Structure 1
Amino acid sequence: MSAIDGKKIAIVGGGPGGLTLARLLQMHGAEVAVYERDTSRDARIQGSALDLHEDSGLAALQAAGLMDAFWANHRSDLDRLRLTDQHGTILHDHQRTMSGAGKRPEIERGPLRELLLESLHADTVHWDRKLESAVHHDGKVALQFADGDTVLADIVIGCDGANSRLRAFVTPNRPYYVGITLVEGSVPAAKDTVPELWDLLGGAALMALGNERTLGMGTKPDGSLLFYAGVKSPVPNGKQQLEEAGTAGKRKAWFYANFEGWSERWAPLFAEASSLVWRPLLSCPADQYWDSLPNATLIGDAAHVMPPYAGEGVNMAMLDALVLSRQLLNGRDAASAITAYETEMFARMRHMAEDTMSNTEIFYAPDASTKVVAMFQGFARRSSGDVPVSAASN
């Protein structure tokens, strides 16, 4: 008998972590429902590609029996990260490991979500369900949704991201702003609209660094280009200014004002962008802790959001799902299973959060281009598969 026998399990959030958890539990007969705020499975663009790591994201997919589906959908073309300075001078090309020991193959968020959805029972995911609050109710948890519906569950897991609505039910802890904001933009038909930058990108991914700013970009299967412009700022106070920049000229002016000392060659990204989204970066304290509840917990960004500069966000969410599923399937009761999961998660994420914040400081240092190149050259030396393929300048 396991901790989930005869229990109704509610998962709030249908991202990679929540769907992986649902799959792992359903494989063992659990009664699972996923409540997702998106109106349908294809309601949103799913963002940048993800590199899944052998000991976390890929391990979870292996346990879920989904490796064949993963390899059928992975992007073998995203095998290099190009590093440049703020002028576009190429400093280093980092060859990513796509197979063998230490592999980190890439997959788009959309196909990853789709293969996870396809692995679930047809009626598992309930779309257009925005959580408003959660309350204790006779030993269960009552989930109250924006449409007025209330759902009772024996066990609830919050997988609803950085701005989790379930977090307040589990812990008083709140993420803090790390002093960096990303502006996400998408450029359609990029080969034609921004040809010089398309050529500089070289068909893979690129990160430009300088003057306490970053600009990352990558190709999408539809020929568009997704970019993230990172601005170091003590307060996230530029959202209205950016949203009001409705013309190409105003968007370029925003770039010039916020990327002082950067080459004009990057300005077409902002002029040609079909959309710009303001994303202040948040982090939970590395040493966070809360007293476990007997019937509710958090995974992924809901539990431990952090900046993206270690590539661990989705991997840790999927590893959370793997660890929690094993505890629930092997534990004698939900309370002890949740406590065991959270104990492991707190210890693991303390080190991960510290490493991530250290990386973040490097990416936004005054001499970031030198430090980041050295960091990636170190990766190459430590891995038999990751080797530098160039260090030329153009």
Structure 2
Amino acid sequence: MTSPNIAIVGAGIGGLACARTLQQHGRSVTVFEREASPRSRWQGGMLDLHVDTGQAALRAANLFEEFSAVARPEGQEMRGLDPYTGALIHHELPVEGAGNAPEIDRGQLRDLFLDALAPDTIRWGHPVTSADALTEDFDLVIGADGTWSRIRPALSTATPIYTGDLLVETFLDADRHPEVALMVGNGTLAAKSGRLMLSAQRNSRGHIRVYAGLPAPADSRVDLLEVFEGWHDGLLDLIRQADGDFVNRPLYVLPVGHRWDHVPGVTLLGDAAHLMPPYGIGANLAMLDGTDLATAIISHDDLDAAVRSYENLMLPRARAAAEACAELTATLVADTVVDVESARHHLNDRIQRA
């Protein structure tokens, strides 16, 4: 049987996990990426990779040892602060065992996949405007192109929905702000009141990423010190002492249970298939989608049967994750940091059972 010619649109970690796994088994794959180079933009903060999703994908891609060499187990520390007094009301330390989910910079994780691919696998600076642009030259087009996927319309009329919540992102240099760094600790710090949230996340190389969450129009320009007036000074220093620009990250989701009727020659993975709130689930699922799809292709003689098998596995799993995320969103509005942490563990359990 002739090896199918496969195109992946998007060089995020989901698409790269798929490409890496396919290449391990001698399959032909080309990745199209609109960005001009691997360093065109910052790739995002830390990711905690879960045993049954992200870590399972790394094992399937034969990159788990490389991941373990750069991951930060200490990054699993979670500190919850009272927003008005700054008091520590929840402190979760890393634990060894089945629930271990070490953190890694998203950029470092992406580099693991990039370094493992054959030269010239990725066509940098090649945006793809639709699936039709590739279907004459490829047996399968995989949309791994995220929130505003150009491949999704070939399968679905669904479009991302704005949640009404805006994340504003900036960063701090830990060496320049030792008191703030001490407050944040080795992992993630969070404080919340209703739909208002401030969090900080320790990345590698002394980098602290800061996120302010609030209900606001997607294109808002807000005065964060005014929004968080009355919060503890230590928390407000996350804003006052920022070393970087403030960047809006409006939160969009696809409808819970988003699915499509199978179309030969096209499929989706990651956010293109099941965009969810940023609760640490999407990246893990994208990688698992990628390796599951590659494994299905490798395991079936018929390409269309392989894609159907993948979609029958991925879509129910994505629905369970989206339902759990919707439940967690409701919890975030009403509950304390302690309750939110319990809800996050419940979310992970739900996905693992799907």
Match of 2:228 in 1: 259
Match of 1:141 in 2: 135
Please give the per-residue CA displacement for 1:140-166, whole angstroms capped at 9, x wherever unaligned: 615xxxxxxxxx322110111112121
Aligned residue runs from structure 1 range 177-326, under 5 A: 177-187=162-172, 189-192=173-176, 194-233=177-216, 235-238=217-220, 241-242=221-222, 254-271=223-240, 272-309=242-279, 311-326=280-295
Please give the per-residue CA displacement for 1:274-301, whole angstroms capped at 9, x wherever unaligned: 1221111111122222111110111001
Match of 1:371 in 2: 339
> 1:375 offset after TM fit, Å?
4.4
- Percent of aligned positions with the same letter in both sequences? 38
Unpaired runs of at least 5, structure 1:
143-151, 243-253, 383-394
> 1:63 offset after TM fit, Å?
1.4
Q: What SS does the aligned partner of 1:364 have?
A: helix
Q: 1:101 to 1:326 in 2, by over 3 A?
A: same
8 Å contact kept, 1:294–1:336: no
1:216 and 1:339 map into 2 onto residues whose CA distance is: 40
Task: Indicate the structure (1 or 2) with the bigger Cα radius of gyration.
Answer: 1
Question: Aligned to 1:35, which of 15, 32, 35?
Answer: 32
8 Å contact kept, 2:76–2:101: no
> 1:225 offset after TM fit, Å?
1.3
> 1:303 offset after TM fit, Å?
0.6
Q: What SS does the aligned partner of 1:131 have?
A: coil
Unpaired runs of at least 5, structure 2:
350-354
State the TM-score, normalizing by the size of structure 1. Answer: 0.82
Match of 2:149 in 1: 164
2:341 and 2:5 map into 1 onto residues whose CA distance is: 49
State whether structure 2 residue 100 is matched by structure 1 residue 96: no
> 1:17 offset after TM fit, Å?
0.6
Q: What SS does the aligned partner of 1:135 have?
A: helix
8 Å contact kept, 1:232–1:364: no
1:70 and 1:131 map into 2 onto residues whose CA distance is: 30
8 Å contact kept, 2:297–2:307: yes
2:63 and 2:201 map into 1 onto residues whose CA distance is: 26
Q: What SS does the aligned partner of 2:132 have?
A: strand
1:162 and 1:258 map into 2 onto residues whose CA distance is: 28
State the TM-score, normalizing by the size of structure 2. Answer: 0.91
AA aligned to 2:97 is: G
Question: Aligned to 1:173, which of 158, 174, 199?
Answer: 158
8 Å contact kept, 1:83–1:373: no
2:83 and 2:251 map into 1 onto residues whose CA distance is: 21
Please give the per-residue CA displacement for 1:221-277, whole angstroms capped at 9, x wherever unaligned: 2322101111124x4241xx25xxxxxxxxxxx113322442343333333241221
Aligned residue runs from structure 1 range 6-21, under 5 A: 6-21=3-18
Q: What SS does the aligned partner of 2:142 have?
A: strand
> 1:374 offset after TM fit, Å?
5.3
Q: 1:264 to 1:285 in 2, by over 3 A?
A: same
> 1:197 offset after TM fit, Å?
2.2
